[in-house]
Copies of this chain bind each other. A is one copy, B any other.
Amino acid sequence: MLNTMTAARRSDGTRAAILTAARERFAADGFERATIRAIAADANIDPSLVMRYYGNKEKLFAAAAEFDLRLPDLTALPPERIGAVLVEHFLERWAGDETLLALIRAAVSHEAAAERMREVFATQVGPVAARLAPDPATAAVRAGLVATQMLGFALCRFVLRVPPVVALDRAEAVAWLAPTVQRYLLGEAPTVPIDPPADFAH
Contact = CB atoms under 8 A, between A and B. Distances in A.
B162 A155 contact: no
Q: How large is the interface on A (under 10, 10 to 19, 20 to 34, 35 or more residues)?
A: 35 or more
Q: How many copies does the complex hold?
A: 2
A15 B147 CA distance: 39
Q: Is the interface of A mostly helix, strand, loop or mixed?
A: helix
Given A33-B109, A152-B153, A155-B152, A165 B145 contact: yes
Interface of A: 29-30, 32-33, 72, 85, 89, 104-105, 107-109, 114, 117-118, 121-122, 140-141, 143-145, 147-153, 155-157, 159-165, 167-172, 175-177, 179-180, 183-184, 190-193, 196, 200, 202
22 contacts: A30-B30, A32-B32, A32-B33, A32-B109, A33-B109, A89-B202, A108-B108, A108-B109, A114-B160, A118-B161, A141-B164, A141-B165, A141-B176, A144-B163, A144-B164, A147-B152, A147-B156, A148-B152, A148-B156, A152-B156, A172-B190, A176-B190
